[in-house]
Amino acid sequence: MASLHLFLAILLEVIATSALVAAKGFTRPLPSAVVVLGYGGAFYFLSLALRAWPVGIAYALWSGIGIVLISAAGWVLYGQRLDAPALIGIGLILAGVLVINLLSGSAGH
């Protein structure tokens, strides 16, 4: 269940971060509400995940997976392109997430 909570936290954080662009400095009500509710839900589910996951591991996964997903969302939703060094860096982050999930005994599986 903790993995589901962490996944929901990451998903809501990516939705909220994506909506920040559309909120235009919190001048547009609907995207602004998505930002506030998304971050609120993200932190709620992260707090539930922390019942089983060590904070360092949970945060590493949250930030690593979040970076990969928000980069993809920026590309799909807003046409934001990444150069080769950025893609390599994101690949290394993804590799780190995989190492934590597949090889670390610290992960809360």
pLDDT tens digits, one per residue of 10-34: 999 999 999 999 999 999 999 999 9
Give the total number of structural domains in the chain: 1
CA angle 12, 77, 21 (to 5 degrees): 65
**Which positions of the chain have pLDDT values less than 70?**
107-109
Asked whether residue 27 is domain-assigned, the answer is: yes
Give the predicted TM-score (pTM) of the model.
0.84
Position 109 in a domain: no
Instruction: Show the domain range for 17.
Output: 2-103
108 in any annotated domain? no
Contact 2, 49 (CB under 8 A): yes
The distance in angstroms from the start CA to the end CA of the chain is 9
Question: Whole-angstrom Cα distance, residue 57 to residue 66?
Answer: 14
CB distance 63 to 54 below 8 Å = no
| Domain assignment present for 48 | yes
Q: Is 10 within a domain?
A: yes
- Which amino acid belongs to residue 46? L
